[in-house]
Structure 1
Amino acid sequence: MADLAILYEHPAWFTPLFAALDRRGIDYVAATADGHGFDPADPTPPAPVVFNRIAMSSFLRQPEHPIFYAQALMAHWAAQGARVVNGPAALAVDASKARQLSLIAGLGLGIPATRIVHRAADLVAASEGLRFPIVVKANIGGSGAGIVRYDDVAALAASVADGTTPDSIDRVLMVQEYTPVRGGAITRIETLGGKYLYALGVDGGGSFDLCPADVCLVAPGKASIAIDRVEPDAALVDAAERIVQAAGIDVGGVEVMIDDRDGTARFYDINALSNFVADPLSVLGWDPHERLVDWLEMKIAEAKT
């Protein structure tokens, strides 16, 4: 049995992680979700530590995506005694923007004003009392997919009537006030082991796709985004740590924007699949994959005792 098992979906996203593991000589197996299967009566996990690397955006790349399969698989391996990194609890939150916002608001933190429905026909009624412009979002999205802005209720009603509103693979939709972002850049706070790792200011020039990783930046047709290292104030760092700890996320990012209308920090996204920033040595001065492998080595040692 290997010390570490990794389940992933995207063929290019984890090359830096695998390279870091290879440099350390860690005994690991990496399996793609496609072609994978499991026996629910099998009591043996593939390794004492399992690292879940399934992206919510996988549905964009293949209709037979592994999102819900991974939820069942990680729950099974956790029940068999594996230490699952970003396990069932994290997956449940990662796979639901509605749950994310409820969790954040339950911690007493700011979120964009939002209403949740499960039918497109209910979007117009749900928008009552919200300030336009609004955005309609898919509950399960990724890379900015499933988000459309509407500047007035007539535009939203017309989109509902002609069937062009966003859809979500789980049939859950949200109507959310569009937040004018102070300074134009959101802040993405990355965490590891429930603690602050680093933060980025990300300005997409109005785009909803703010993924800062290498493979995101070179994606065909993707608009350019500006990325800078930032140091959030202590209150934002504390809030991000509270969010990921409450969500059960071992490795992940939290996105927050400062509402230009009133200066409120509004947290709006929790991402349990962090690919880390492109060109980390230039942006950060160090490679977060090395810190991640340090942490994984610690978890492997703990699981063996």
Structure 2
Amino acid sequence: MSKVYIIHENSEWTIHLTKRLEELGVPFEEWHLDEGLFDLSKEPPEGIFYSRMSASSHTRGHRFAPEYSGQVLAWLEAHGRNVYNGSRALELEVSKVKQYLELNKHGVTTPRTIATVGKQQLLEAAKQFEGRAFITKHNRAGKGLGVQLFQSVEALKAYVESPSFEEPVDGITLIQEYIQSPESYITRCEFVGGEFVYAVKVDTSEGFELCPADACQIGDLFCPVGEEVEEKPKFQVIEGFDDPVIEKYKRVLDSNNIQVAGIEFIRNETGEIFTYDINTNTNYNSDAEAKAGKYGMLELAKFLEAQLIAEYGAVAKTR
């Protein structure tokens, strides 16, 4: 029986999708690829495949899950299976450098970024931001890995030489200009099937928690000193969000064969947009969605059902 196969390494993030597939009666199977095996001489099963592999898998003890998934995705694609968020999506998921290059190719502005390997090179790169605030982050990230704000090269040097320095899993640390925002929030644009679903405003005044399952705390990075923050929702779906950057994002996703993603940006004091992340393993905030009446995982489940039917015709419902 043809079905939807979900490739991932974290059941906590996947259960919200499988529940929606169950509601719709769509047959599915999970492939948890923290470990496994596959025979190159055999063909994959019939069905459509959707990858939710995460760049932060190593923080959950699944160090080689993305590497293994890359081989599985290549096997599936070599046999002509329809894979959503396939090899190219995974390639961008684990490399912010490649994300920024693709965004820039399509006219999307990103913060100035320098990629480094080695502590001395990291310090040398920081000298180019002398007199300005800058941040560090890991190239293969997720969960805000390696994100730190610095006001000087001396402060970075003290961090790099301390026991608290975080070595990136791929060895690549990025130095990036700090975008000063007049308000303490970022915007995340959600896409399913390559189409814009909604934008969500994420309050970062008390940290940088981007989704309910992916806490990315970086302290007061975006919080103006001394500002009193009123009680307000952490996540808010923005009604009627419309900006020319959406069409650019859609072109980026289309050219890289990415169907599902959350793309994040921040505005500076003049209103200019700086895009800094493409998350191809996107999650959604249930409270914000319930209030807005928009549901990302439901849209994703419907999209996968439609693709399964388009390829195999009527499918046997599981309910």
TM-score norm. by structure 1 comes to 0.90
Percent identity of equivalent pairs: 25
Look up the match of 1:188: 188
Deviation at 1:65, TM superposition (A): 4.1
- Give the conservation status (yes or no) of the 8 Å contact 1:253–1:272: yes
Look up the match of 1:257: 266
Distance 1:123 1:34, change over 3 A: closer
Distance 1:278 1:120, change over 3 A: farther
CA RMSD in angstroms, aligned pairs only: 2.5
- Give the conservation status (yes or no) of the 8 Å contact 1:115–1:175: yes
Deviation at 1:148, TM superposition (A): 1.5
- Give the conservation status (yes or no) of the 8 Å contact 1:48–1:81: no
Counterpart Cα distance in 1 of 2:57 and 2:68: 12
Matched, 1:151 2:159: no
Distance 1:160 1:71, change over 3 A: same
Matched, 1:229 2:224: no
Counterpart Cα distance in 2 of 1:290 and 1:160: 44
1:147-193 C-alpha deviation (Å, 9 max, x unpaired): 12211011112223346443221111210011112321110000011
Deviation at 1:299, TM superposition (A): 1.3
Look up the match of 1:14: 14
Deviation at 1:29, TM superposition (A): 1.1
1:27-47 C-alpha deviation (Å, 9 max, x unpaired): 2111222342212222x2233
Amino acid at match of 2:121: D
- Give the conservation status (yes or no) of the 8 Å contact 2:237–2:288: no
Matched, 1:93 2:92: yes
- Counterpart mapping for 1:1-305 below 5 A: 1-42=1-42, 44-62=43-61, 64-130=63-129, 132-162=132-162, 164-205=164-205, 207=207, 209-213=208-212, 215-216=213-214, 226-230=234-238, 231-260=240-269, 262-279=270-287, 281-304=289-312
Amino acid at match of 1:285: G
Amino acid at match of 1:56: A
Counterpart Cα distance in 2 of 1:204 and 1:247: 30
Amino acid at match of 2:124: A
- Give the conservation status (yes or no) of the 8 Å contact 2:188–2:265: yes
1:30-80 C-alpha deviation (Å, 9 max, x unpaired): 1222342212222x2233201111111211111534111111111111111
Instruction: Say which is worse superposed, 235-244 or 75-84, in terms of deviation.
Output: 235-244
Amino acid at match of 1:257: I
Stretches of 4+ moved more than 6 A in 1?
222-225
Deviation at 1:254, TM superposition (A): 0.3
- Structure 2, unpaired ranges of 5+: 221-231, 314-319
Distance 1:177 1:206, change over 3 A: farther
SS state at 1:40 partner: coil
Amino acid at match of 1:238: E
Counterpart Cα distance in 1 of 2:195 and 2:30: 26
SS state at 1:182 partner: coil
Deviation at 1:280, TM superposition (A): 5.0
Counterpart Cα distance in 2 of 1:51 and 1:144: 24
- Structure 1, unpaired ranges of 5+: none
- Give the conservation status (yes or no) of the 8 Å contact 1:136–1:165: no
Deviation at 1:301, TM superposition (A): 2.4
Amino acid at match of 2:268: D
Look up the match of 2:316: none
Distance 1:247 1:164, change over 3 A: farther
Counterpart Cα distance in 2 of 1:122 and 1:50: 41
Counterpart Cα distance in 1 of 2:233 and 2:101: 29
Counterpart Cα distance in 1 of 2:137 and 2:233: 21
- Number of residue equivalences: 300
Q: Which structure has the higher relative contact order (CA within 8 Å, separation 6+)? A: 2
SS state at 2:244 partner: helix
1:53-109 C-alpha deviation (Å, 9 max, x unpaired): 111121111153411111111111111111111100110011100111111112122
